[in-house]
Amino acid sequence: MARFVLRRRTILLSALAALIVAYCSLTLVTSRWLEPERFDLTADGLYTLSPGTRQIIDNVHRPLWLTLYFSQHATKDLPTLRSYEQRVAEMLQEMVARSHGRIHLQIVDPVPYSDEEASAEGNGLTAMNGGSNGERIFFGLVGATRPASSDAGPDAGADAAEDSGPKLDDRSLSMPFFDPQREPFLEYDIAKLLYQLSEPHKPRIGVMTDLPVMGDTLHGAPAWAVMQQLQQLFDVQVLDAGKLRQIDKSIQVLLLIHPKNLSTDAQYALDQYVLSGGHLAVFVDPFAESDPAPLAQDSLAGTNNHSSNLPRLFADWGVAYSPDQVVLDRARALPIELAGVNLAHPAMLGLGTQELNRDDVLTASLQRVNVSTAGHFDLLPNATTRLIPLLQSSADAEIVPTQRAIDAISNPSSLMQGYQPQNQNYVIAARLRGPFVSAFPELARRAGHVAQSPANAEVILVADTDLLTDRLWVETQNFLGQPLLNAFANNGDFINNLVDNLSGSSALLSIRGRSSSQRPFTRVEALRHAADRKFLQKEQELKNELADTKQRLSELQPAKGERDTSTSAEQKREIEQFLQRQLAISKELRDLQHQLNAEIDALGMRLKVLNIVVLPVLITILGLLYGWRRTRRNRRQRS
């Protein structure tokens, strides 16, 4: 019997050792040669890539190299930034794991006076001051289609060689600094960089307008600053509305600015462009102040020739817009100088963070967008589309006839006469989401006619064209013979974001903002708020006692010389009593603070015990119970 027990123990120990060896071997093999399974157990799925991001990564057909620059030593006293760096790195690692070796990631610490710091600066990263010992902080991402010389390993040439397809130009893009305030759009920003790197050429955009946005070569007038910026990032092509019959599918974004009296052929071309998946941004205006045509009033139509509209398409899309109405907003009126007098212009609006959609990638990081004599959008009662505001007025706004705003050009203060706010936020710019149907059903028999758009189709609508003009957002200065643009508003950033967003793939457009990874300790915050209320109560009590004592002292002021001694003694007793009470209240405040800290420490200790002791013990007990029940069941079966 003893020999049987010894033999059984030997078999069990041998089996246990074999299991340990097999487990270690399997772990080594799967981590080295197989893609490991990854589980996202966060409440909001922070590390689960959206379908749009996965599609973009799967469509990367050339090797890409990403370098994350983060100043480790300079941020040792900035735990919030270090925590966000871990969030960024984990997001990048998740994308790298998805790419099956197509995307390579390197994390670099650009210490001062190093080659890495020079590389960070050379790649356009922005350094932030305030690091340890006065060091600068780098926290940005550089993406390239070829590795840097220092990063090229033995497999770099093989990776490039295995990339079958046409020869593509080398490209390098950067994200200058990861702003923690922009964390909801972290996935979108990185996915956009990957998409731009994988595209071989600049996106092609079209511009169709009668406004002089591209300048005047005859008179030497330069292009508007917003168009100069677009030309640096995109291949810009100007389209002639009078000759337009069809819009080339190679145009990824079409900017339709100030459409007036478009022909049926041009409107049909726009209709089919949107239904075929094209990305359209429409800028209309009740009164375009930059319209070069002499101002005239159409008495029959009740409109002016500086207004623009797209009535047939708007009606088909379910959009309500009137060129006969201008939005006034005295709460957001811009200050102007007219005839040497400073005044606020209620038709020229400075829309701030409260009027910008903080949940949309177009406007989330903007601070102010200026507009002038702008209109507004709404949905028709029978609309099947959705209107998502990007820019809107404050609730202290009202609508006035366009002609009244025109008549007040020389006297903007007259617009304040009889001002009646209507307690409504008027939508000045918005995303319009479909699907859309054709506004030309009578042309359904034409070859190639498209009757309905994809489900994810959308159009950007802006009820102002003046926001594109230089005067509302930028000043041009001469620096060493070169024009230098000094922006005082974010109008240019808004247009860049708009075109940048629309020029991406449909997968990029589908990526929405997500919640922040910073999850507050609600129980601790509740304790702090309760303690704050107690502190405020004690502080108010101290102030009340102080006021009462001062009042008492004023009543005890000596009136006659013979009462000085007794009065002074009474004053001393009063002051002594107040000082004692003040010390007592101060002690109560300290005790309250100690009690708060003790409660927080006790909560932390309970959480540690729960995570470190209780849960493992419970799991162990459950495992032992399961083993005991299984052993007991086996014994019953043998017996």
DSSP string, 371-411: EES---EEE-TT--SEEEEEEE--SSEEEEEHHHHHHTSS-
CA separation for the pair 250, 496 (Å, rounded): 19
382, 253: one domain: yes
| Lookup: tokens for 626 | 């399961």
Assess whether pLDDT exceeds 90 at residue 625: no
Asked if residue 548 belongs to a domain, the reply is: no
Same domain, yes or no: 193 and 273: no
| Residue 77 and residue 225 in one domain | no
Q: Is the pLDDT of residue 178 over 80?
A: yes
Q: What is the pLDDT of residue 157?
A: 45
- Give me 319's structure tokens: 């959009």
User: What pLDDT is stored for residue 151 in this prediction?
Assistant: 47
558 or 380: which leads in pLDDT: 380
- All residues at 6 or more sequence positions from 504 whose CB lies less than 8 Å from its CB, including other chains: 192, 195
Averaged pLDDT, 273-300:
89
Residue 380's domain is classified under what CATH number? 3.40.50
Domain check: are 479 and 382 in the same one? yes
Which residues are CB-contacts of 511 (< 8 A; sequence separation ≥ 6)? 50, 52, 53, 187, 188, 191
Range of the domain at 267: 204-291+302-321+374-392+425-509
In a shared domain, residues 241 and 113: no
**Which residue carries 């005991």 as its tokens?**
628
Q: Taking all residues of the chain, what is their mean pLDDT, rounded to a whole number?
A: 82
Out of 509, 535, 567, pick the residue that ends a domain. Answer: 509
Q: Does 224 lie in the same domain as 175?
A: no
Q: Could you give the CA distance from residue 298 to residue 81 in angstroms, rounded to a whole number?
A: 59
Cα–Cα dist 160/102, whole Å: 10
Percentage with pLDDT > 70 across the chain: 74
Q: Are residues 280 and 317 in the same domain?
A: yes
Residue with tokens 């508003």: 489
What does the alpha-carbon distance between residue 377 and residue 386 come to, in Å, rounded to a whole number? 12
CATH number of the domain encompassing residue 93: 3.40.30.10
pLDDT band with cut points at 50, 70 and 90 for residue 298: low
DSSP H helices in 318-371: none
Note whether residue 317 is domain-resident.
yes
Average pLDDT over residues 272-299: 91
Residue 473's nearest CA partner among 391, 372, 373, 362 is 372
Which DSSP category does 612 fall into? I
Residue at which a domain ends, from 477, 509, 541:
509
CA 136 to chain centre: 25
Confirm whether 83 is domain-assigned.
yes
Number of domains in the chain: 2
Q: Which residues, other chains included, contact 534 with Cβ-Cβ below 8 Å and sequence gap of 6+?
A: 592
pLDDT tens-digit readout, 124-162: 898 988 888 788 999 999 999 888 654 444 444 444 444
Which of 105, 101, 46, 39 minimizes the C-alpha distance to 70? 105
Residues 480 and 383 in one domain: yes
Residues 116 and 230 in one domain: no
- Most confident listed range (178-192, 238-252, 477-491, 577-591): 238-252
Segment 606-613 shows an average pLDDT of 73
**DSSP-assigned beta bridge partners for residue 127:** 138
User: What's the average model confidence in pLDDT over 322-337?
Assistant: 94
CA distance 467 to 230: 15
194 and 255 both lie in a single domain = no
Strand partners, 474: 487
Query: Which structure tokens are listed for 601?
Result: 């420490």
- The answer to the question of residue 235 being in a domain is yes
CA 183 to the chain's CA centroid: 7
For 201-221, give the secondary structure using H, E and C.
CCCEEEEEECCCCCCECCCCE
- Claim to verify: residue 240 and residue 93 sit in the same structural domain: no
Helix orientation angle between 491-502 and 225-233, rounded to the nearest 10 degrees: 30
Pick from 248-257, 267-276, 303-312, 561-570: least confident: 561-570
**Contact status, residue 471 vs residue 498, Cβ threshold 8 Å:** no
